[in-house]
Amino acid sequence: MVTATKEKVDWNLGVDAAFLFETIGFEPTGEEQARILRCRKPKKLVVGGDQSGKSKEAAKDWLLHWFEDRVRNPGEPLLYWLVAMDYERTRAEFDYIKEDLLKLGMPVDASKRVDPGYIQVKLKGETKPSLRIETKSGKDPRTLAMFAPHGIIVCEASQIDLETYWKCLSRIAPRNAWLHMSGTFEGSLGWYPGLAAAWAHGTKDEQSFRLPSPTNYHLYPGGVNDPKILALRQQTSDAFYLERIMGIAAPPKGMVFGTEFRPDIHIREVEYDPALPIYIWEDPGYGHAHAIEVAQIAQGGQVRVFDEVFERGIITEDMIQICKMRPWWGNRNKTLVIDPHYQTQHHATHSVEDIWRAVPTYDTVAGGGGAGLVAATMQRVGISEGTERMKSFLKVNPLTGEPGIVFSPKCKGVLSELGAYPNPFDGQTKVYSWKMDREGNVIGDEPDDRYNDGCKAIIYGLVERFGLVTTSGNEFFTMKRYGTGDSRKRGHLKKRERVYAR
């Protein structure tokens, strides 16, 4: 009987895992990699530097899971998925797993291609394969819609979108299966860095790890002091070195909602509910984004931003026409809030407020519904006051575990301003941020008035609906509100007033 060597036991992998790895000739590159393999939580996320060995680690983790799953599911055929943004990004894990099975003496049947590809094992006496591994592409959601695997490896996970991650979660749920994600940061914004940070301290079922490039002693025998690593540090920016080499998120400094907004918490699959009122929050623009954020308030008070019209170079009349094509326009209970900086501005012969007021109170739309529009206008709200109101809704209620506001992934305009997605117009990172000097210090007490159109629309909507976070003395501002009343007969909107403490 072959026993693990002293060196193998030193990694504290356990006798079975040490024996298995010795059989295939594998040894961890260091404590960082061994620590990942020791962890047997069902959900793991690995942030690896370039050439850190993250694909090989994922393949070895699969090997351990396979042996564990055989014990948990005796006699049951086992199914696994390799998921990536496209098929080719599954290649490394596919080849490592195939190679390891061959080293174990398994009768491997594997496709030459990975688009799609498979690896399967049918032992002597079996009528069908007892093991099958399939490659899946996030670009084709249909490939993630069938069956429930016993485990999923997400390859280059930072490159898949949040919706693909959700699909993976839904597929592992029926079997209480495991999920292993690994990837190199492609930037420090978005759902993947947020999830890595959220899992860093671990939960019962989740854990994230870092696997920096210098830990791969095969390529960098000198570790962080290896000449190749030192050269990379000197030749690249600090952000690139931290993200791509060390696996450390380096988000842009000075993000207005950088600590409050988390994609894994605040982005949800929220849908329009015909039984609830609609809130339309608008920040007009032409040279910059023209944002309309559409929300509903669920029972319990959670604000759910479920739709968005986010365009550039589009006038208000055209934005309204886009809204009228959406399924929710037929809801007869809709409240509009316009950014007060624009509500009375005249770009031609009419103000933005006039243009909206000209929309027939009850016009014909698909399904026989009517506009039912209530247009509320308001005086300006201070930037710091509005920011605090937004932050108050981003907070998670410690009793319910739910945030005060969530966003559909369809709302990519406002989510790009919050740092979850690239800018929808040019694909660049453009986040609502504080003004900064060249040394990265915040200047002044007001954010840069850019890349905030969706955020401002939501802030004014929240203030109109819920008021400000605090009051200050006896100072008040007046908020005008236009209601339907009996205006269906008169064909125009009725004016009302509301007063809020400022």
The two structure tokens encoding residue 454: 């969706």
Q: Which residues lie closer than 8 Å to 93 by C-beta, 6 or more apart?
A: 55, 58, 59, 62, 82, 153, 155
Does residue 76 contact residue 49 with C-beta atoms inside 8 Å? no
**pLDDT tens across 324-378, in order?**
999 999 998 999 998 776 655 545 556 777 787 777 654 433 333 445 787 776 6
Is pLDDT above 90 for 307?
yes
**CA angle, 388 as apex, 383 and 389 as ends, to 5°?**
100
- Model confidence at 453, pLDDT cuts 50, 70, 90, reads very high
Give the pLDDT score at 103. Answer: 96
Q: Any residues with CB less than 8 A from the CB of 132 and at least 6 apart, and which?
A: 77, 78, 79, 80, 118, 119, 120, 121
* The token pair that represents 140 in the structure block: 């084709």
Spatial distance between the Cα atoms of 17 and 40, rounded to a whole number of angstroms: 12
| CB of 444 closer than 8 Å to CB of 254 | no
Tell me the residue ranges of DSSP E strands in 385-424.
405-407
Which domains does the chain show, CATH number per domain? 25-245 (3.40.50.300), 268-501 (3.30.420.280)
Q: What is the pLDDT of residue 315?
A: 85
**pLDDT of 80-119, one tens digit each?**
999 999 999 999 999 999 999 999 999 999 999 999 999 9
The pTM for the full model equals: 0.71
Instruction: Determine how many CB atoms are found less than 10 A away from the CB of residue 421.
Output: 23
**What DSSP string runs through 307-342?**
EEEEEES--HHHHHHHHHTSGGGG-S-EEEEE-TTT
Gap between the Cα atoms of 255 and 360, Å rounded: 40
Cα–Cα dist 225/452, whole Å:
42
Q: Which two tokens stand for residue 345?
A: 């501005």
Q: Output the pLDDT for position 498.
A: 36
52-72 residue pLDDT tens:
999 999 999 999 999 999 999
- Polymer length of the chain: 502
